[in-house]
Amino acid sequence: MTKLTNLTIAQARDKMAKGEFTALELTEAHITAMQAKRSLGAYITETAEQAREEAKASDLRRQAGQIGALEGIPLGIKDLFCTKGVQTTAASHILEGFKPPYESTVSGKLKAAGSVMLGKLNLDEFAMGSSNMTSYYGKVVNPWKSKSDPAKLLVPGGSSGGSAAAVAARIAMGATGTDTGGSIRQPAAFCGITGIKPTYGRCSRWGIVAFASSLDQAGPMARDVRDCAIMLGSMAGHDAKDSTSAPLPVPNFEAALTGDIRGLKVGIPKEYRPDGLSDEILRVWEQGIEWLKAAGATPVEISLPHTKYALPTYYIVAPAEASSNLARYDGLRFGQRVEGKTLDDMYKKSRAAGFGSEVRRRIMIGTYVLSAGYYDAYYSKAQKVRRLIAEDFTKAFQDVDVILTPTAPSAAFGMDENTDDPVTMWLNDVFTIPTSLAGLPGLSLPAGLNADGLPLGLQLIGRPFDEETVFKVAGVMESAANFTALPEGV
Amino acid sequence: MSLDKKAVRAIAELARIEIPDEDLDHLAGELSGILQFVEQLAEVDTTGIAPMSSVADLTLPLRKDEVTDGGQVAAVLANAPDADDGFFTVPKVVE
């Protein structure tokens, strides 16, 4: 029999329906695996006891004929989602010990669908990073090893690095992620799993610790396209508590996986070939185009002329919003406090002690670009360029149905690489940030291995609220790619 | 734009983050590097382009003006580092 931890969500769902095993057995297998792989640092908080109780309750519901879409499926929740009564840190010291008195809409919907929470997953502090090295609670290790240097510790990507590592290492069947500039897609690519950032507004942001509110979006990370479609179906939907949540019905995403993409036009943006892009990435991209052609789709070269300005635009808009959102950490209402002589002194000392260096840097940039005298030159300018970037996509989607690009410019890198200069680290998100600025759905799936045996991802971008086409094309690519490689120890 | 120590100190003051003097030089270098990177936006012609603050093409939804929540003092204060008699506490602000 296949190990329970190696099943996909869809397989486990169907087997539990046939009575082959219980939710409690499935959960126990994952708790054992989670505890055996603590060296990955994927979880900040494990909730094994609670998971067992939830699994027992799920088995009782099943006996009573109440079967949710994710009934009895053990999931990990990124530690950016508030979970009632369970510590929620955003991987920051400043929120250490914070136990939300409420549940985020998305994690609540997953619970309502019958899922079981295994614990809270590690991330970059306040979701700011592409390596999961800025967490106060320790780095996350990518379960994949490079062939040429197996001893080298690789990053899982970020910010949803704990989520990606957990799904890849089979210590969660699926996980929630959030994506502000690539935080679901880049770690999914680095860890050889599938993840989708849905259209901005598809999932409620209520109860998710805010980073950049005009960009943040929750999404699923799982072993394959179908599992992402199943999870997103339970996570999405209008929520009156988030004013930017879209009042649209949730389609049956799983039903979109028809396998038929004949006649679809696939945009290939010519600007996504920056100087120095590795041959390995180009080759896997070319391979992806060939797969789609073979399935009856037509590749079309498109132009997204403002692509090179997406990164500088993002690094004004996102820090500006972050500096406003993170003003709430004042040592007063929740989180860590360092006493001071005056109120201002208490604020400054609490925030100095509570924030790590990347978060501090971004708050300061954001504060500067919003400050009197610089607002127009930086913030307002970036908002205008953002519109041009979004319009590039609107124009392109007049001619094509979906866009195919690489997810990241490289495979997972070593923990000691890319750390000297913040701007170099940010280049990881060069292919994912434009989609975020335009609010479009973007999915990353594993497409192959590089020479070192590490996964490489491809990204599919869709029209607003057309995740169905993205899933449909992704399903076809997944079958063609037949990505069966596994990380060490799985 | 290149920031000096004085400018970094002013930004830190606005952001209410205490920064030790010995960190100022390093931060000034980092922040200046970031600003130089983002300043390439100046070459984009944005004449007549309206700033985009959100991709959500929505008018702000309004709900009925009625009480939907409240009366949860204990839950609201449960995470406060220091609370007293139903209130958050702060250092003395009036001399």
Contacts of A42 by beta carbon, 8 Å cutoff, 6+ apart: A34, A76, A121, A122, A140, A162, A163, A165, A166, A169, A171
Contacts of A462 by beta carbon, 8 Å cutoff, 6+ apart: A199, A401, A402, A403, A440, A441, A442, A443, A469, A470
Q: How far is A86 from chain B (nearest CA, A)?
A: 12
Q: Are A368 and B82 within 8 A, CB to CB?
A: no
A-chain residues near B76 (CB < 8 A):
101
Q: Are A351 and B8 within 8 A, CB to CB?
A: no
CATH number at A1-490? 3.90.1300.10
**Higher per-residue confidence, A421 vs B70:** B70
Mean pLDDT of B80-89: 94
Look at the alpha carbons of A305, A306, A308, A311 in this order and tell me if their dihedral is positive or negative: negative
Note down the domain range covering B21: 5-43
Domain boundaries, chain A: 1-490
The one-letter amino acid code at A158 reads G
Residue B33 maps to a domain:
yes
Condensed to tens digits (0 to 9), the pLDDT of residues B9-39 reads 999 999 999 999 999 999 999 999 999 999 9
A335 touches chain B (CB under 8 A): yes
Query: In b/e form, how buried is each residue of A32-70, taking b as 16+ CB within 10 angstroms?
Result: ebbeebeebbbbbbbbbebbbebbeebbebbeeeebbbb
Chain A: residue whose CA lies nearest to B90: A343
Residue B17 maps to a domain:
yes
Q: How far is B27 from chain A (nearest CA, A)?
A: 8
Could you report the average pLDDT of every consecutive run of 10 residues in chain A (490 residues)? Answer: 89 98 98 98 98 98 98 98 98 97 98 98 96 96 96 96 98 98 98 98 98 97 98 97 95 98 98 88 97 98 97 97 97 94 96 97 97 94 98 98 96 85 80 98 98 97 98 98 93
Q: What is the pLDDT of residue B61?
A: 87
pLDDT at B7 over 80: yes
CB pairs under 8 A between A and B: 160
What six digits make up the tokens of A288? 């992806």
Chain B: residue whose CA lies nearest to A245: B56
The answer to whether the CB of A458 falls within 8 A of the CB of A408 is no
Domain count for chain B: 1
A309, A385, B18 from A312: Cα distances, Å: 6, 10, 27
